[in-house]
């Protein structure tokens, strides 16, 4: 019976061991599946964001073309004031050839088609049948309109804009002088571009949700994103879908054969263990168990000759019985040790009481620290309130400075084309610009004041105010630019109290000043530590100012005027040292004045609106 019991026990051990191995394998794959499921769930949000961003980029790529071409003075002149089919073909027709466009159309203010060009193969399609509505009714007060329209079994994307002058490009407050529309076909080629941009999604287009539900690719556990396509009435007319394949299914299919193979191997291992246990383990274990029960060693003596674990166990059992007697003797020794431990416990209890007293001291110290923290929190609150008041005041000063600069900004009446790149270092800044038109004479000035933030802004406001006073007092025809700088130097020096003997201060400003007559094209330039750069016929020239500051400690000297006979196509640049001192380019090094001049020459063939963008990218990119 005992032999059978041993065999049964060994069998249980083997079965339990194999079961644990199988359970560990199952647990490992379950954890892998859960981890993959969590990854899939986390990726769903990223996939939605990616799809939205790709669609937005492609939509803006086309709508921006229409918006840019709808704000164009030459477009109005050649279309509204003097219709010119050849001009429209050369300047608007390119949109059909370069942007996968299928139709470009220009409407007049009544909604009638003034110019239309279609791609080859689409001549018979009526693209502008809006259910009885005219383009004027469709646009209404809107300046831009983007929508989709279904014609037959094809979906088209529309981008429309009201035509306005270039000066109204930003605010769009003018009444429409016509309308420009561009039509793009939602083709399989475009859907393939979406699929390539997203990477691992299948893309398609259907006109009903029933078509989506009937497709096997959309079944669980795949991840599906659906985007609704709206018409000009904001009604859904089509659905664009993106299917992301779920990797959990493949992992689960790979797990099944591995599980079956491991289970068979475990079954074979159990059978082999049982056969070995019956032959080599059951009888020796029976003899060992008998010795434990009786305390006699005669049945384990033959096992001592075995050179295996049972031989070792037999020797250990003999030693066990010997040690049993020894343990009895040691018991009395342990009792004595116990008494010693009790004495040590009493000593530990005394130490515990001392630690408790120290703990109370720490609690008292924590209370004191809490009071200190409350005081610090109150001081932080007061500092925050003071900071908020200071920031509020500076923000209000920024609005005042913006209003002052807007009053002296250049206009199209002064210059045919121009741009201003103005980014103060702080909320308010120490650089300023100033323009004024008096008759046929234009005064253009740029100032770079000492200091940043509020001190620099106060000096900038002083410079604008003094220039306004001087032009009101003398007029642009009575003073040369060097005379204006001399008067400005006197006013700034007096206002800052810099004319006292023995006192040297560096408060003031560097100024570049140009006076230009639009009729005669003659001009005069004078500078206080600031140059003027001019580009003519792909060559760049620098007209330096005098080494005489405005303000600072008094430094005698006379500003020198430079006479300039301007030619058509000349481009003039006034700038502060903040432009050349910026870090730019891939190496993020300081531009320096020579590199900045080289970039200005490179940008000079562009319109000033594009030059502004190029300069901003150079400085901040």
For the stretch 543-561, pLDDT in tens is 999 999 898 655 678 999 9
Res 496 pLDDT > 60: yes
In this predicted structure, what is the pLDDT of residue 93? 77
Q: What is the pLDDT of residues 70-97, one digit of tens each?
A: 777 777 777 777 777 788 777 787 787 7
More confident residue, 209 or 533: 533
Mean pLDDT of the chain: 80
In this predicted structure, what is the pLDDT of residue 474? 84
More confident residue, 25 or 163: 163
Res 43 pLDDT > 60: no
Side-chain-side CA neighbours of 376 within 13 Å: the count stands at: 6
Res 1 pLDDT > 50: no
Residue where the block lists tokens 């429309």: 160
Res 217 pLDDT > 60: no
Q: How confident is the model at residue 537 (pLDDT cuts 50, 70, 90)?
A: very high
In this predicted structure, what is the pLDDT of residue 126? 87
Q: Which range, of 106-110, 271-275, 343-347, 576-580, averages the lowest pLDDT?
A: 271-275
Q: Report if pTM > 0.75.
A: no
Question: 529, 547 in Cβ contact below 8 A?
Answer: yes
| CATH topology classification for 408-620 | Phosphatase 2c; domain 1 (3.60.40)
* 281 DSSP 8-state letter: I
In this predicted structure, what is the pLDDT of residue 2? 46
DSSP 20-52: HHHHHHHHHHHHHHHHHHHHHHHHHHHHHHHHH
In this predicted structure, what is the pLDDT of residue 94? 78
| Average pLDDT score over residue span 36-47 | 56
Please report, rounded to a whole number, the percentage of residues in the chain having pLDDT higher than 90: 22
Cα 505 to Cα 491: distance, rounded to the nearest angstrom: 16
Q: Where are the alpha helices (DSSP H) in 408-540?
A: 453-474, 481-496
In this predicted structure, what is the pLDDT of residue 24? 72
Q: How confident is the model at residue 356 (pLDDT cuts 50, 70, 90)?
A: confident
In this predicted structure, what is the pLDDT of residue 320? 75
| Average pLDDT score over residue span 441-458 | 90
Q: What is the pLDDT of residues 501-527, one digit of tens each?
A: 555 677 899 999 999 999 999 999 999
Question: The tokens of 450 are what?
Answer: 């000492």
Q: How confident is the model at residue 248 (pLDDT cuts 50, 70, 90)?
A: low
Q: Which range, of 98-112, 200-214, 597-611, averages the lowest pLDDT?
A: 200-214
Question: The tokens of 281 are what?
Answer: 């383990």
More confident residue, 47 or 461: 461
Res 585 pLDDT > 60: no
Q: Which residues of 352-361 are buried (b: 16+ CB within 10 A; e: fewer)?
A: eeeeeeeeee
CA distances from 167 to 74, 262, 372, 417, 448 (A): 12, 77, 61, 11, 28
Angle at 478 between CA 472 and CA 481, to 5 degrees: 90
Which residues are registered as beta bridge partners of 516? 442, 523
| Average pLDDT score over residue span 585-596 | 74
In this predicted structure, what is the pLDDT of residue 503? 59
| Average pLDDT score over residue span 388-403 | 78
Q: What is the pLDDT of residues 398-442, one digit of tens each?
A: 888 888 888 788 888 899 899 999 988 888 888 999 999 998 999
Largest Cα–Cα distance of the chain, in whole Å? 136
Res 112 pLDDT > 70: yes
Cα 491 to Cα 464: distance, rounded to the nearest angstrom: 12
Res 366 pLDDT > 50: yes
Q: What is the CA radius of gyration of the chain?
A: 45
| Average pLDDT score over residue span 204-219 | 69
Task: Give the residue extent of every domain in the chain.
Answer: 2-61+247-290, 408-620
In this predicted structure, what is the pLDDT of residue 584? 57
């Amino acid at each position: 019976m005992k032999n059978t019991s041993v065999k049964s026990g060994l069998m249980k051990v083997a079965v339990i061991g194999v079961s644990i191995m199988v359970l560990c394998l199952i647990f490992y794959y379950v954890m892998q599946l859960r981890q993959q499921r969590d990854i899939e769930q986390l990726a769903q949000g990223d996939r939605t964001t990616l799809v939205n961003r790709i669609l937005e980029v492609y939509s803006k790529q086309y709508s921006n073309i229409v918006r840019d071409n709808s704000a164009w003075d030459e477009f109005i002149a050649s279309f509204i004031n003097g219709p010119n089919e050849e001009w429209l073909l050369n300047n608007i027709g390119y949109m059909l050839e370069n942007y996968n466009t299928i139709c470009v159309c220009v409407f007049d203010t009544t909604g009638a088609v003034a110019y239309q060009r279609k791609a080859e193969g689409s001549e018979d399609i009526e693209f502008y049948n809006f259910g009885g509505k005219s383009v004027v009714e469709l646009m209404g007060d809107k300046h831009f309109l983007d929508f989709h329209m279904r014609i037959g079994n094809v979906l088209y994307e529309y981008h429309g804009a009201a035509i306005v002058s270039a000066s109204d490009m930003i605010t769009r407050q003018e009444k429409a002088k016509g309308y420009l529309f561009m039509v793009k076909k939602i083709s399989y080629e475009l859907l393939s571009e979406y699929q390539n941009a997203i990477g691992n999604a299948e893309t398609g287009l259907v006109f009903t949700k029933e078509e989506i539900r009937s497709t096997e690719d959309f079944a669980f556990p795949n991840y599906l994103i659906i985007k609704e396509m709206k018409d000009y009435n904001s009604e859904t007319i089509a659905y664009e879908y993106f299917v992301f394949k779920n990797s959990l299914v493949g992992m689960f299919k790979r797990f099944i054969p591995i599980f079956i193979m491991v289970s068979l191997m475990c079954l074979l291992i159990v059978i082999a263990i049982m056969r070995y246990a019956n032959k080599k383990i059951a009888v020796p274990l029976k003899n060992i168990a008998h010795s434990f029960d009786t305390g006699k060693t005669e049945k384990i003596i033959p096992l001592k000759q075995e050179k295996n674990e049972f031989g070792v166990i037999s020797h250990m059992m003999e030693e066990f019985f010997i040690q049993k007697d020894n343990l009895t003797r040691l018991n009395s020794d342990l009792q004595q040790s116990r008494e010693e431990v009790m004495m040590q416990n009493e000593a530990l209890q005394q130490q515990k009481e001392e630690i408790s007293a120290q703990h109370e001291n720490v609690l008292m110290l924590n209370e004191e620290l809490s009071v200190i923290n409350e005081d610090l929190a109150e001081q932080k609150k007061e500092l925050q309130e003071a900071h908020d008041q200071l920031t509020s005041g500076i923000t209000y000063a920024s609005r005042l400075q913006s209003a002052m600069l807007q009053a002296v900004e250049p206009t199209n009446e002064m210059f045919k084309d121009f741009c201003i790149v103005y980014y103060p270092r702080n909320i308010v800044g120490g650089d300023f610009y100033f323009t004024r038109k008096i008759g046929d004479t234009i005064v253009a000035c740029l100032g770079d004041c000492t200091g940043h933030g509020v001190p620099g802004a106060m000096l900038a406001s002083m410079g604008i105010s003094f220039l306004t006073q001087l032009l009101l007092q003398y007029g642009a025809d009575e003073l040369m630019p060097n005379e204006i700088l001399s008067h400005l130097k006197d006013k700034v020096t007096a206002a800052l109290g810099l004319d006292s003997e023995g006192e040297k201060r560096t408060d003031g400003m560097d100024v570049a000043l140009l006076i230009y007559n639009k009729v005669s094209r003659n001009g005069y330039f004078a500078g206080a530590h600031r140059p003027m750069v001019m580009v003519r016929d792909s060559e760049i020239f620098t007209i330096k100012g005098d080494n005489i500051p405005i303000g600072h400690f008094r430094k005698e000297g006379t500003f020198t005027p430079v006479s300039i006979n301007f030619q058509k196509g000349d481009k003039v640049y006034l700038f502060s040292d903040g432009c050349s001192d910026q870090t730019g380019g891939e190496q993020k090094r300081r531009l320096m004045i020579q590199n900045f001049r080289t970039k200005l020459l490179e940008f000079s063939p562009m319109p000033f609106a594009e030059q502004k963008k190029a300069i901003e990218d150079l400085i901040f990119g």
